[in-house]
Amino acid sequence: MIGHGFMGAAHSQGWRVAPRFFDLPLEPEMTVVVGRNAATVEASARKWGWAESATDWREVIARDDIDVVDVVTPGNTHAEIAIAALEAGKHVLCEKPLANSVAEAEAMAAAATAAAARGIRSMVGFTYRRVPATTFARDLVAAGRIGEIRQVRAEYLQDWLMDPEGPMTWRLDKDLAGSGALGDIGAHAIDLTEYITGQRVTSVSGILETLVSERPLLGEGIGLSGTASAERGTVTVDDLALFTGRLESGALASFEATRFRTGRKNALRIEVSGSKGAIAFDLERLNELEFYDATLPETGLGFQRILVTEHDHPYLAPWWPTGHMLGYEHGFSHQVYDFVTAISEGTQPRPSFDDGLHVQRVLDAVERSSAAGSAWVRADD
């Protein structure tokens, strides 16, 4: 595993727990975690149960006893590491968003295609596809239970940047983070929309907005911790992204990604309205799916709150009895299960790097639309 921030903890939990619940065709070994600082990465290795730590990812990639590379570094390093790993013949799981630019993502997708020809697998880490309720939503849509899709609303609402005195961090610097709310959380809303509807966003019109443009620098400059200083840095990413996309079928989807929606902590929500029904999901209640069956008699119509905790629901069989809830990190176990199964079976896991590239194109199109006064911009070429 390359990288050991918050995502490192989540991925480690996935690798650790998945084999204890799912019947994996291969038993993953948590061999080595890589970071730039020898002391802190060694601490992470010990904490998370990796056998070793290392500071040079190139050396690790060159090792014969490594079969899989899990990339959880910031987005600006994904391309270099993932491409090198694929070329070294390692299966690669890469955190989302795939890259910080379309060009990088294209190179990665090309490398993934080339690697696939040699039996090497790659996947992007959009784990919210693997919440049982979202997978079940996709299944209902695919089974025609909501009919033809008429419109979509997808939003990812947080409020952790509300305080204008909150510090300037790497996530607010375009060079490091690529974009702001758009790429960090909007990417999830786009991927989830494409996953559940089975359709891609082909063009977009939107606007990006930075609500707080200067923030206190931390003592040591841009970072994740430290004491705020009197100096101020310039926020170069968006705080809020509002955009409309057109899906392949022609239906419109309306998107919002924001870190300023006061009181909403982690509300990735999607509602898909169809000719025969609708589904609605909210990550703040991740064990529930709302389903509306418009084919029922008029007096019996209403959104159903389905607890997606039955053994026959997606991913649920090895977990707990009905009504016992899953949490955030279970998606990472499901990701490991799917990824390892695909490697073992020699199939292409999804979301592929191509899927990730497409999301990157949509993000890029939103930025271009915003720059062009919300003009419609194609996202599929």
Q: How many Cα atoms sit within 13 Å of 216 on the Cβ side?
A: 13
Subset of 130-189 contacting a copy of itself (CB under 8 A):
136, 146, 150-151, 153, 158-160, 162, 164
Least distance to a copy of itself from the beta carbon of 300, Å?
Answer: 7
The answer to whether residue 334 forms part of the interface with a copy of itself (CB under 8 A) is no
Measured from the CB atom, the residue of 91 and 246 that comes closer to a copy of itself is 246
The answer to whether residue 258 forms part of the interface with a copy of itself (CB under 8 A) is yes
Least distance to a copy of itself from the beta carbon of 237, Å?
Answer: 16
Q: What does the alpha-carbon distance between residue 221 and residue 282 come to, in Å, rounded to a whole number?
A: 36
Measured from the CB atom, the residue of 169 and 287 that comes closer to a copy of itself is 287
Number of residues that bind a copy of itself (CB under 8 A): 84
Tokens representing 321 are 């009895």
8 A C-beta contact, residue 31 and residue 12: no
Measured from the CB atom, the residue of 83 and 146 that comes closer to a copy of itself is 146
8 A C-beta contact, residue 129 and residue 187: no
Site track for a copy of itself across 189-228, x = CB under 8 A: ----------------x-x-x-x-----------------
From candidates 29, 67, 77, 285, binder to a copy of itself by CB under 8 A: 285
Least distance to a copy of itself from the beta carbon of 136, Å?
Answer: 7
Tokens representing 50 are 């990796």
Measured from the CB atom, the residue of 59 and 284 that comes closer to a copy of itself is 284
- Residue count of the chain: 381
Question: In sequence order, what are the residues at sequence separation of 6 or more whose Cβ sits closer than 8 angstroms to the Cβ of residue 271?
Answer: 152, 153, 154, 278, 279, 280, 281
Least distance to a copy of itself from the beta carbon of 376, Å?
Answer: 6
Measured from the CB atom, the residue of 87 and 310 that comes closer to a copy of itself is 310
Q: What does the alpha-carbon distance between residue 177 and residue 108 come to, in Å, rounded to a whole number?
A: 18
The answer to whether residue 44 forms part of the interface with a copy of itself (CB under 8 A) is no
Least distance to a copy of itself from the beta carbon of 34, Å?
Answer: 18
Measured from the CB atom, the residue of 103 and 375 that comes closer to a copy of itself is 375
Measured from the CB atom, the residue of 61 and 286 that comes closer to a copy of itself is 286
The distance from CA 287 to its chain's CA centroid, rounded to whole angstroms, is 18
From candidates 80, 228, 310, 350, binder to a copy of itself by CB under 8 A: 310
From candidates 234, 295, 322, 347, binder to a copy of itself by CB under 8 A: 322
Cis peptide before 349 (omega within 30 of 0): no
Question: In sequence order, what are the residues at sequence separation of 6 or more whose Cβ sits closer than 8 angstroms to the Cβ of residue 7?
Answer: 72, 95, 125
Least distance to a copy of itself from the beta carbon of 354, Å?
Answer: 28
Cis peptide before 28 (omega within 30 of 0): no
Question: In sequence order, what are the residues at sequence separation of 6 or more whose Cβ sits closer than 8 angstroms to the Cβ of residue 338?
Answer: 123, 130, 349
The helix/strand/coil state of 187 is helix
Tokens representing 17 are 């727990």
Q: What does the alpha-carbon distance between residue 83 and residue 99 come to, in Å, rounded to a whole number?
A: 11
Any idea which residue has 């990339």 for tokens? Answer: 71
From candidates 33, 137, 240, 379, binder to a copy of itself by CB under 8 A: 240
Task: Give first-to-last CA distance, the chain, whole Å.
Answer: 32
Least distance to a copy of itself from the beta carbon of 149, Å?
Answer: 10
The answer to whether residue 364 forms part of the interface with a copy of itself (CB under 8 A) is no
Least distance to a copy of itself from the beta carbon of 72, Å?
Answer: 14
68 forms bridges with which residues in the sheet? Answer: 91
Subset of 48-87 contacting a copy of itself (CB under 8 A):
48-49
Least distance to a copy of itself from the beta carbon of 6, Å?
Answer: 7
